[in-house]
Chains A and B, each alone.
Chain A
Amino acid sequence: MKGIEVRSLDKNYGDVRALRNVSLTFEENKIYGLLGRNGAGKTTLLNTITGRVFPDSGDVLVDGEVALENDKAQQKIFMMSEKNFYPEGMKVKDAIKWTREFYPGFDEEYCRNLAEKFGLNTKKKIKSLSTGYGSIFKLILTLSANAPYLFFDEPVLGLDANHRDMFYRALLEKYSDKPFTAVISTHLIEEVAGVIEEVVIIKRGEIIRNQSVEELLETGCTVSGTAVAVDSAIQGKTVLGEDSLGGLKTAYLAGEIDSSTLPAGIEIGKMDLQKLFIHLTNE
């Protein structure tokens, strides 16, 4: 079977249950958003799949093969991590050279062009790059790796609006040209809402949502109007959250509401991904 299959992963750090019975599949050639609040377990999940962290229990399969301590399987994944694993004093161009050694499909010309487009000076030491260019350097390597599975952990950290725009376009261009599986872990939900096809939401180490963006958005709605009318309309519904402003109220519901039975003056709206995320992950 193609794809990455994660089976009942558990990982504890002392008392902290970083991953709790996490099972999911990253299918071939789809773009995923991995969303969660700070400390929810996003990076731990990606690190476990890529063998940087050992799970307490559970399995990871890449294209049907056990991925833990399996170089062949790991070579199919390129992970851009938030942290820097490069040796002190290494230059950008040397890191490119080394990546080429480990990823035989590495596209050097594409990498050079992208570096030029983003204005990345490859003669610089990695350590001396700003936060933004540190991210740019890593996302360029990731896009150039030509691996079938690309993990982006906070790819746009420190990037200005122009560079973020360039990144999303470069990603989509590359993906259209030759599809791959991308997993993007980010806090900038609004920006990726249109780019991703599937969404995985993780909360305190548990997967709470795992479906297509389209399906997920259909599972929520907003109900607005006078507080009295809203309160009567949402009786018996699963309410994710509420906002009040004077006598007006907006309720955020899980599930749909039958608009034909509503009192006058009530408006039904859709939730966008960010709103839904906030209400699903609020403590």
Chain B
Amino acid sequence: MNLQDERPIFVQIAEYIEDGILSGAFPEDTQIPSTTEISVWYKINPATALKGINLLVDENIVYKKRGLGMFVSTGAAESIRRKRKKDFFDNYIDKVVTEAKKLGLTQEELAAMIERGYDR
């Protein structure tokens, strides 16, 4: 958890769980860490941890099994990928282009760099 990060902590918590789902650390239909576990691990208020999890509940990425805890929904990884692709332009491309312009890089130079990145 990075308190210096400008995004609210609960958004970062949601993203951390999403990353776990994408990487396969939390496979579909398995349980994610509890509010308490997240709270103690990251040293954050349980209300904040819960808020992060609820963000994922609203997007149907995790669901509640009564008396057991929160589980990863079927198709969660796919829907996270879809969502993140949609946000990719705003979150990354926009920033890259702004910085490239600041440095006076041409469109061609930037494209060449991206190609180089793929070749690594």
Instruction: Please report A residues at the B interface, Cβ cutoff 8 Å.
Output: 31, 165, 168-169, 172-173, 175-177, 190, 193-197, 214, 269-270, 272
**Interface locus among B42-50, B56-64, B106-114:** B42-50
Any A CB within 8 A of the CB of B105: no
Instruction: Work out how many contacts link A and B, with CB atoms closer than 8 A.
Output: 43
> Which of A175, A176, A270, A272 is the most central at the interface, judged by chain B CB atoms within 10 Å of its CB?
A176
**Interface locus among B3-11, B15-23, B79-87, B88-96:** B3-11
Any A CB within 8 A of the CB of B54: no
Closest Cβ–Cβ distance, residue B4 to chain A (whole Å): 7
With A214-B8, A272-B3 given, is the CB distance from A194 to B45 under 8 Å?
Answer: yes
Q: Which A residues touch B35, using CB under 8 A? A: 176
Inter-chain contact A194/B4, CB cutoff 8 Å: no
Inter-chain contact A172/B43, CB cutoff 8 Å: yes
Inter-chain contact A197/B40, CB cutoff 8 Å: no
Q: Can you give 26 A-B contacts (C-beta < 8 A)?
A: A31-B45, A168-B43, A169-B40, A169-B43, A172-B39, A172-B45, A173-B40, A175-B46, A176-B35, A176-B39, A176-B40, A177-B36, A190-B3, A193-B3, A194-B9, A194-B42, A194-B44, A194-B45, A195-B43, A195-B44, A195-B45, A196-B45, A197-B45, A197-B47, A197-B48, A214-B8
- Besides A165-B43, A194-B45, A270-B6, 7 new A-B residue pairs in contact (Cβ under 8 A), listed by A number: A169-B43, A173-B36, A173-B40, A175-B46, A190-B3, A194-B43, A195-B44
Q: Which A residues touch B4, using CB under 8 A? A: 272
CA separation between A194 and B4, bound complex, in Å? Answer: 11
Closest Cβ–Cβ distance, residue A113 to chain B (whole Å): 16
Q: Which B residues touch A269, using CB under 8 A? A: 6
- In chain B, what residue has the closest Cβ to A176? B36
Closest Cβ–Cβ distance, residue A183 to chain B (whole Å): 14
